[in-house]
Amino acid sequence: MQLYTRKGDDGTTGLLYGGRARKDAPAIEACGAVDEAQAAMGAARAEVARGSEVDRLLVGAEHDLWVLMAELATAPDNRHKLEAGKTMVDAGMVSHLESVVDGLGERFPMPTEFVIPGQDRVSALLDVARTVARRAERAALAVAPPDSFVVPYLNRLSTLLWAMARWQEHGDSLPSRSVTA
């Protein structure tokens, strides 16, 4: 099986539900930034135990980013083909992140001042993922339609990654209560 098609050699990439776009088009740039955020989250995941709470939270968010990228990679005239929660971000995905962030906020005191990243490897990697998610949010702002939940999702994701980084800095001092993924 060949892993390359040569279709992108002309500087374009295929869109979900058909059509092609230049690889430097704003929507494709936004998809690339989201892809980078997902990879950064994967780097953080590689440093934690499989099946741990951090692992489960990151895997869930990484799956959501596939949905988000599907929405960004759809031409406006095919937007009607998107399915909420499967190929298009919905309000429930945003509210889920809010509930997870709120749950983390109840587990330990969040800092009230600026934080210097790098207390440990996992928190540093989560902070890198957060900054990439913020960049993806800025890129998506230029292309997401007004009724889309892409930008709010990326905004909440960056907040979640910040909260998770602070959580990891607390280490063993955390209560044993679990936030469900």
* Per-residue pLDDT tens digits for 33-84: 999 999 999 999 999 999 999 999 999 999 999 999 999 999 999 999 999 9
Average predicted confidence (pLDDT) for the chain: 92
> Does residue 50 fall inside a structural domain?
yes
Q: What pLDDT does residue 166 have?
A: 94
Task: Give strand pairing partners of 88.
Answer: 84
CA-to-CA dists, residue 180 to 44, 55, 93, 115, angstroms: 19, 11, 14, 26
Give which of 171, 165, 163, 181 is closest to 44, Cα–Cα: 165
* Residue 13 within a domain: no
In which element (H, E) is residue 169 found?
Answer: helix 150-170
In a domain, 67, yes or no: yes
Report the pLDDT value the prediction gives residue 174, as an integer from 0 to 100. Answer: 39
Residues of the domain holding 163: 19-170
Residue 177 maps to a domain: no
Q: Is residue 175 part of a domain?
A: no
Residue 8 included in any domain: no
Q: CATH number of the domain that 109 lies in? A: 1.20.1200.10
Q: Is residue 54 part of a domain?
A: yes
Angstrom distance (rounded) from CA 91 to CA 150: 10
Identify the three-state secondary structure at position 74: strand
Question: What total of structural domains would you count in the chain?
Answer: 1
Q: Is residue 178 part of a domain?
A: no
| DSSP per-residue letters across 23-56 | TTSHHHHHHHHHHHHHHHHHHHHTTS-TTSHHHH
pTM of the model: 0.91
